[in-house]
Amino acid sequence: MGTALLYDEEMTKYKLLWVDPACKIEVPERLTVSYEALVRSGLSDRCISVPAREASDSEILLVHSEAYLEAVKKTPYMTLEDLKEFTLQFGDVYFHPNIYHCAKLASGSALQLVDSVMTGKVRNGIALVRPPGHHSMHGAANGFCVFNNVAIAARYAKQKYGVKRVLIVDWDIHHGQGVQYCFEDDPSVLYFSWHRYEHQNFWPNLRESDYDSVGKESGTGFNVNVPWNKVGMENSDYLSVFCHVLLPVAYEFCPDLVLVCAGFDSAIGDPEGEMCATPDIFAHLTHLLMNLAGGKLCAVLEGGYNLTSLAQSVCQTVQTLLGDPLPQLANLRGPCKSAIESLQCARSAHRRYWSFLKHAADPPMTDISTKHIKSTMEEEEKREMAEEERCTEGKVWPEPPERLCPPVCSGSVLPDDVACPDGLKRLSSSKDLEPLLVSKLKNRSRTAAVDGDGVTTFSRLYTLIEKLVANEIRNGLVLVPDVTAAMCVVQDLTSDLVKRVLVVCVGKEKELDYVTTDGKVLVVQISSEDNEEQRSKYYIPVCLKKGCSDTSGFIQAVFGLLLPLGYEYNPDLVLLVRMPGSGVVDSMWQQLIGLLQGFAKGHTLVLMQVNEKASMGSTASALLGHPAPPLQELQTPFPEDGDALERLRERLQADWKMLQTTS
Ligand SMILES: CC(O)(O)NCCCCN
Ligand SMILES: [Zn+2]
């Protein structure tokens, strides 16, 4: 299924008609540069164009009061003076004779997007709209927003499609207080927002934007705020919050629909955010949400005021929605001190509501919600300040790398008597291996026979790896008689082809004897085996008491450990090995394959034993980019597992900065 794109140039036909420094950045060009970038890059042609429409009164009244709607209805007939007068009652927003029309189109576009996704016409989509929505409230316009597009869409989805649970992810750099107020007592809508806060010194300066606003009454726990108390946040900070706060909660919540308040003022160069995350981060943020709700994701534009980074960020988001390979994110050095404090506060504020955060540490000693920034700046903060100057001063960043789609998505190497799953391209060995390599393989692999077909298998394997590295194929599935032997072979074959291989080993393995210490290979093993004494920087065993069949423990290990490690290690190839008898549940297996596609431009090599070929279909489906089915109702993870994972993280965080969640 495809990706919907909603855009209507009518929404460019309003602008600020008087002098107001707070509002001058909200210009029509925001929409035109975004759309034109999609056209120029060829991305718009790959989307399914869906027309905008006006939201009806009853749809707008799902969120707003009649009094407010009636008042806004009068604005098209107001004189300039009346419009100025009318505007004075609201904060940081302006009105225009045509803005009511555009606000109805913006909300209606969000509803069109929900219809397209919920009826299965498309898998996901984005609506390029203005005016934005997430600040507008029941009876008030605010922060350039007139109607709350995403809040209306959430209520509409519940009413029209009986959606039970809606996740709203707000990655705009401002707090969408309008959304928070709308759903804070509603357990069916989980609202997550990060936002520039600076201890309440940044607009809209609300006490309730802090991490301790967790929702109220039956909605307690369903409002997650992550305040940024410093500017200059980078890709590491954003990914850490996704891995250590949002994703565990989102997976436990198990939404039927994901709505994104897609504001791009959280990107580098934006005058409002003053952050340093690069536009390609949105490729990864989008990707990390795409395996929730069976892939049903609706992104609605909110803010974004640097026309260059806005256009780039929109393209990165759409390209991921279309299923293209992700760009590699280089040198992620882990969250900064301030981000860790925010992370730790948000996790500890929510640990009583979300079993995946149950083992989160206590809040930091320093009370970060005090209004006044500490007078004395520690050494670290001085250094960060210097870092910020350099980063926002420069306001230059590299153009996001091109994300080329390999001609073949998934290749397979299978025994001749095994049928190739639909969509996979069976590889035959293009050439025989050099005798030298064959002899190396012979004495390397422990299986007695690297007999005839063994060598054939190895040469096919080599061909597949060569094509992955050459980006002729995105990913591959390999079925072999003995995964352990094959693992060694792959190590040998890849050692001179790629710099870094992330090996994810699912299930226990007799002995893992090929772990390197030079960092060319990082092995993360998830099993019921407690190989703690063998642990080293590049061999990380994760023990689950009940093994891989315990999906709760498994998903916790994936978000709390595997993903942060993977981002920091930044491999050029991912080798995912499914040990026989691992017991991993198929939906979890597909989720894992989906998530691992975020690394190495999607170059994932899945190694399975022939006797597990029953799982080949679901493996192929995940490799071909189909969204993984939602995980069944997740039980509370076993306490010993959650505890062990926290301890393991604390021990590893000296070597791996992306594992830090405590200051
Ligand atoms: C949509 C938005 O969050 O970008 N609006 C920002 C308004 C800032 C007012 N000072
Ligand atoms: Zn914003």
Residue located nearest, by CA, to atom 6 of ligand 1: 143
Pairing of strands 425-426, 408-413: parallel
Which atom of ligand 1 is nearest to 304's Cα? 4
Which ligand is closest to the CA of 178, given by its number?
1
16 touches ligand 1 (CB under 6 Å)? no
Closest CA to 290 of 634, 46, 549, 622: 622
Q: Which bound ligand lies closest to the C-alpha atom of 143? A: 1
Does residue 199 have an active-site annotation?
A: no
Q: In sequence order, what are the residues at sequence separation of 6 or more whose Cβ sits closer than 8 angstroms to the Cβ of residue 392?
A: 231, 232, 274, 276
Cα separation, 371 vs 383, in Å, equals 22
Residue 143 Cα to ligand 2 middle (Å): 8
- Of the chain, the percentage scoring pLDDT greater than 90 comes to 79
pLDDT at residue 331 in the model = 84
Whole-angstrom distance, CA of residue 543 vs CA of residue 312: 41
**267-317, pLDDT tens digit by residue?**
999 999 999 999 999 999 999 999 999 999 999 999 999 999 999 999 999
- Order of strands across the sheet that contains 473-480: 425-426, 408-413, 473-480, 604-609, 573-578, 501-506, 521-527, 539-543
Read off the pLDDT band of 453 (50, 70, 90): low
How crowded is residue 298: how many other Cβ atoms within 10 Å of its Cβ?
31
Ligand sitting nearest the alpha carbon of 91:
1
Ligand at minimal distance from the CA of 176 is 1
Domain boundaries, the chain: 3-326+334-389, 475-657
3-state DSSP assignment of residue 247: helix
Ligand 1 touching residue 203 (CB < 6 A): yes
Query: What's the 3-state SS for 114-139?
Result: HHHHHCCCCCEEEECCCCCCCCCECC
Short-list 110, 161, 121, 96, CA closest to 2 = 121
365: phi then psi, degrees, rounded to nearest 5: -60, -50
**Whether the Cβ atoms of residue 118 and residue 296 lie closer than 8 Å to each other:** yes
Pocket residue to mutate for ligand 1, from 27, 135, 149, 313, most atoms within 8 A of Cβ? 135
Query: Would you state the structure tokens that stand for residue 30, as one six-digit string?
Result: 């925001």
Ligand 1 atom with minimal separation from the 302 CA: 1
* Confidence band, pLDDT 50/70/90 cuts, at residue 373: very low
Q: Are strands 297-301 and 521-527 parallel, antiparallel or unpaired?
A: unpaired
- The structure tokens 């091109």 sit at 402
pLDDT at 383 over 80: no
**Which residue lies with its CA nearest to atom 7 of ligand 1?**
143
Distance, CA 100 to ligand 2 centroid (Å)? Answer: 20
pLDDT for 531: 84
Residue-wise pLDDT for 194-229, tens only, equals 999 999 999 999 999 999 999 999 999 999 999 999
What is the predicted pLDDT for the residue at 314? Answer: 99
Q: Which atom number of ligand 1 is nearest to the Cα of residue 134?
A: 1
Is 22 near ligand 1, meaning CB less than 6 Å away?
yes
* Ligand 1 near 646 CB (within 6 A): no
The environment of the single-atom ion ligand 2, i.e. residues with CB closer than 5 A, is 172, 174, 263, 265, 303
Residue 6, CA atoms < 13 Å, CB-side half-sphere: 31
Our answer on whether the CB atom of 547 is closer than 6 Å to any ligand 1 atom is: no
Question: What is the per-residue burial (b if ≥16 Cβ within 10 Å, else e) of 458-493?
Answer: bbbbbbbbebbbeeebbbbbbbbeebbbbbbbbbbb
State the Cα–Cα distance between residues 292 and 611, nearest whole angstrom.
Answer: 30
26 lines ligand 1 (CB under 6 A): no
| Ligand 2 midpoint to CA 141 (Å) | 14
Dihedral, 276, 277, 280, 282 alpha carbons, nearest 10: -140
- pLDDT tens digits for 19-57? 999 999 999 999 999 999 999 999 999 999 999 999 999
* CB burial readout 136-145, b (16+ within 10 A) else e: bbeebbbbbb
Ligand 2 centroid, distance to 659 Cα (angstroms): 28
Residue among 193, 446, 424 at smallest CA distance from 302? 193
Q: Do domains 3-326+334-389 and 475-657 have the same CATH topology?
A: yes
Give residue-wise pLDDT tens across range 226-257: 999 999 999 999 999 999 999 999 999 999 99
CATH for 475-657?
3.40.800.20
Alpha-carbon distance of 461 to 473, in angstroms, equals 13
Q: Three-state SS for 78?
A: coil
Is the distance from the beta carbon of residue 92 to the nearest atom of ligand 1 less than 6 Å?
yes
Helix (H) or strand (E) holding 383: helix 379-394
pLDDT of residue 634: 84
CA atoms within 13 A on the CB side of 504: 25
Q: Does residue 265 have its Cβ closer than 6 Å to ligand 1? A: yes
Dump pLDDT digits (tens) for 129-147. 999 999 999 999 999 999 9
Q: Give distance in angstroms: CA of 150 to centre of ligand 2.
A: 14
For a mutational test of ligand 1's pocket, the pick from 172, 180, 194, 205, i.e. the residue with the most ligand atoms closer than 8 A to its C-beta, is: 172
Task: Output the CA 338–ligand 2 centroid distance in Å.
Answer: 21
Percentages (nearest 5) of helix, strand, coil residues in the chain: 40, 15, 45
Give Cα separations from 475 to 294, 520, 601, 635 (angstroms).
21, 20, 9, 32
Lowest mean pLDDT among 135-149, 531-545, 600-614: 531-545
Residue of 96, 135, 175, 626 marked catalytic: 135
pLDDT, residue 375, reads 39
How far, in Å, is the centroid of ligand 1 from the Cα of 199?
A: 18
Amino acid present at 186 = D
Distance 16 CA to ligand 2 centre (A): 17
Give the closest residue to 297 by CA, choosing from 35, 113, 62, 555: 113
Cα–Cα distance between 419 and 440 in angstroms, integer?
30
Give the number of the atom of ligand 1 that is nearest the alpha carbon of residue 143.
7
pLDDT attached to residue 481: 86
To 10 degrees, what angle do helices 337-350 and 379-394 make? 110
pTM: 0.95
Tell me, what's the pLDDT at 445? Answer: 56
* CB of 133 shorter than 6 A to ligand 1: no
The ligand placed nearest to the CA atom of residue 132 is 1
**Residue nearest atom 9 of ligand 1, based on CA coordinates:** 143
- Name the more confident of 462 and 12: 12
327 lines ligand 1 (CB under 6 A): no
> Separation of 341 CA from ligand 1 center, angstroms?
25
Which atom of ligand 1 is nearest the CA belonging to 142? 7
Q: Which protein residue has the closest C-alpha to ligand 1 atom 5? A: 143
Kindly write down the DSSP assignment for every residue of 252-295, as one continuous string.
HH--SEEEEEE--TTSBT-TTT-B---TTHHHHHHHHHTTGGGG
Torsion of CA 662, 199, 207, 170, to 10 degrees: -70
* Cβ of 195 below 6 Å from ligand 1: no
Select 3-326+334-389's CATH number: 3.40.800.20, 3.30.1330.40, 3.30.300.30, 3.30.360.10: 3.40.800.20
Please tell me the distance from the alpha carbon of residue 167 to that of residue 169, in angstroms, as a whole number.
6
Whole-number average pLDDT of the chain: 92
Q: What is the ipTM of this complex?
A: 1.00
